[in-house]
Structure 1
Amino acid sequence: MKWIQLLIPCLLMSTITCGFHSLKFLSTGWAKPGDRPLVEQLTVFDGVPISYCDTVTKREQLKPTLESQKLPENCDEASLNIIDSLNDISRFMNSTVYVVQRRRGCILSANGMMFALEAWAVDGMDFITFDPESQRWTSQSPSAIPVEQRWNKNTLMNYAYRHFIRVECPQMIQKIQLRPIQQETELRVFAKPIVDTDQALLRCHVTSTDKSVSSVHLIGNGASRASWIIVTGPMPAEDGSVILRLTAEISLSREDDTYGCTVQTGSHNITVFWDGTTLDGRTLLYHSRVPWKMLTVIFGVICIVFIITIISCATICLLKCVKKKSSPPSRVDPQLLEQFTWIMESNASPDLHNVIYSFTRGTEPNRELQNRWGMSVVLRDQSYYDPDYFAHQIDGAHP
C-alpha cells in the first residue's frame, strides 16, 4: 500500500510532470430492497473521463475528449462482477449491503514500470484490496474477513483479475489518445449574503484545462479580516478540466474593504477582484455594524412613540375644542322671563341682575354686564339723593 500512498499526490498533479499515465475503472453497484441491482462504470484516463457505461445500455459511451476508439464496446464483465459481489458480500456479512464500489486499473510510468490497483468499498467504507502479484485478498475491515477467506480460495477469479490489471490495462493505456485541449483558465468571483447578518460568503470559482493550476488565494485589503477560508480541489470535471473553489466568510460593514482571488498557472497568474455582486448579478450593499434585528427593534419603538404622540396631540386638541364650544342656551318660560325682566328694572342689586341674566342666558356670570348695571345704579342713586335734583323738582312743582 505504500506505493499507492506515494502515487496519490502525484496523480493529483499533472501526469506529464510526474511521467505517469493512468487508466482507472470506477464501478458502483447498489441494490434496493425489492429491486434488481444497478451498476455504473466510469473510465478515467490521466484524470480525464473518457467513457461511461451502465446496466441499462451495457454499452460504453465514449466521451468527446477521446481521440482513439481502443476501448471495450460494453461493460458486461464489470457489471457481472459487481452484481455477484453484492450477493456474495451480503451473504457473508449477514447484513444488507446497499452500495459496493470498485476501483481497479493500472499506472504506467515513462520508464516502463507498471503498478496495478484493485480495491473495494462497502457502503462508503474501505472493505478489501487485491494484490495481483500474490493473487491474495487482504481485508480492510473486520467484517471483510469472511469474504477475504472465501475469495482467496477462488483461484480462477483471482487469476482473471490479475490478468486484466497486469496485461490488458497496460495495453489499453498505450492505445489511448486524448484530443488536444487548449489550456484555458477561467476565474469567477461572486458572493452570497448570509441572512440577517452583515456577513457574506465570497466564492472564487476556477475552471481550467491547464493541469498546472493547483492553488487559488484570497487577496485584497479585507482578506486578513475574513472569518475563515476553505479551498477545495483541484477536482476533475467531465470535460477534462479541473475545478478549484475558494470560499471565505467576509464582512459587509466596511465599504473600503476589497476582496479578490489569484490563481497560479504554469505560465502566469490570473487575478480577479469582486465587484460586489452575487452569482446572478444582484448588487450587495454594505451595511452598518448594527445587526438587522436591532435595527428592526429600534424602528418599531420609534413607530410606537410616534403613534402615541399623534394620539395624545389629537386628544388634547379635541378636549380644547369641547371646552371652547358654548353650552346651548336654556329654555326659559316666557312668563318667567317677563317677571325676571321687571325685577331687573325695579331692583338695584347688580348681583341679582347678573344671576338673573346668567339663568336666562345659560352662561357664567357676566362681569362686564355686572359692571354696567353697577354704574347705572350709582347714577340713579345720585339722581335720587341729589339736593339740587330735589330742589329743582320742588321748585318745578311749586312755582
Structure 2
Amino acid sequence: MDVDTLEVQYTVHHGPGGKLQFQQTTLFNGHVIFACSSPTLRDQPRQHWVTNAFTQEGLEERHEQCKHQCYEHFASFEKIKQTITVSADVDTLEVQYTVHHGPGGNLQFQQTTLFNGHVIFTCSSPTLRDQPRQHWVTNAFTQEELEERHEQCKYQRHEHFASFEKINQTITVSADILQRCQGCISNSTGKFVFEKWGVNGEDFLTFDPDALKWTAQIDEANPLATEWDGEYHMNHAYKYFGNSLCDKAHILKMKQAGRPSDGAHTGLELHIFGKPIPGGTVSYLQCHVTDYSLSGVSIQLTKDGVPLDHGVHQTGPRPNGDGTVQMRVQVKTTMDNSKTYRCETFNKTVVFDNPSPRQNTVIGTVPPVIVTVTCYMMCLGVMIGCHVLGLHVKEVATVAEGAAVSAAVATVLAALATVLAAVPALIKFPN
C-alpha cells in the first residue's frame, strides 16, 4: 500500500550573539524539498523536480509564508518562555569546520568552537594550534588539555580533507568549499544534537544521531547519504561526539562560573568607534578601554561573535592625564549592517549600533577635566581646541590621531585664535 507523507518542521533557537534564529524544512516522503532559514527567509527548493513543479508566483508565495511563520514562531517562543516553570537557560556548544582552496590551490582547514554564540577556540592551517579566544577559557584549561586540543585539530583536518575529496568524487560540479557544523543545544529539560554539511554554500547533508541516518538536502547528495547510512562505525563515532558536546557544554558552564572574579576592574570603561574610509564600505573600527590599571586586561573586536583578528593594531596602555590609562585596538574591516560588532573584554561588552562616523556607545561616564598644556604650537592647538569643544581628555589622543581629517583640523584651528587670546595663562613653550 503506497503511503505519501508531507511534513513541515520548524526550529527556533538562539544563534550567535543571542539573536533568535528560525528554520523551516519541508519534507516529502522523507526527502527535503524546501528549506527556509534566517536571515534571508527565502523558501528555496532542494530538489530539481520541485523547481520545475512550481511557478515563480508560487515560489514567491512560499517566501512570504516563511516570513509569516518566522514571526509566529518567534512570538510562540517568547510566550513559552513566559509560561514554563522550568529553567529557560539554554546552552549551545557548536563546532564549525571549513575546507576550501587557498593560494596555489592548496587545501586550507579551519575549525571554530562556539559556546553560547561566542567563539572560544579557533584552529586553522597551517599552524593547526587550537587557540583560546576568551580570557576565561585560557584560565579554565590546563596546558595538557590545550595540547590535546591541538592534536584533535590535526586529526579533524585529516578527516575533513578526506571527506572533501570523497564529496568531489560524488558530485558532478567541483566542490570549492565544504562546511560542516556539529553541536548540542541543552537545557534542564533535555538536549538536541545536530549535524549539518554544506557544499559551495548550499545545504548538502544532515545526520540524525538517534536514528543513525543521513538525509540528502539536494539530489546530488542522495548517493552519498545512502553510502554513509551503511558506515556503522563512522555513524556511531559521530553520535558519540555529538553527545559528548552536551557533556562538554555543561563542563564549560561550570568552568565559566568558576572563573576568577572580575571585581578588580569594576570601574573599567569601554568605548567603540567607527570611522568610514571615503569611497567605499570599508571602515576603521576602534575599541578603547580605560581604567586606573589595565594589568592583565586585553580587548578584542568581534563580528557576530567571531574575533576580527586580521590586521589588528594595538596601542597603549597610555596615561590619560587624570590617573587613568587607556588602551586601543583598531582593525580595518568591511562593515555589514546585518552583522553585530562588539568591543569585548573579560567582564564587559559594548555594541557598535550606529554606522555613522565616530559613533560610540559608552559604559560608564568620563568627567571633563581642565588641561594645562606644555607643548609646541600644533599640539597646543589640538589640545586647547578639544577643551573648547567640550571633549573629554580621554578622547584627546583619538582626535590628535585623526588630525589629518580636514573637518576636525578646521574646527580646532578656528577655535585656537579665540582661545589663545582669552587664556594666555595656558600657554607654556619649552625652554
TM-score where L is the length of structure 2: 0.46
Normalising by structure 1, we get a TM-score of: 0.49
Q: Which of 1 and 2 has greater Rg?
A: 1
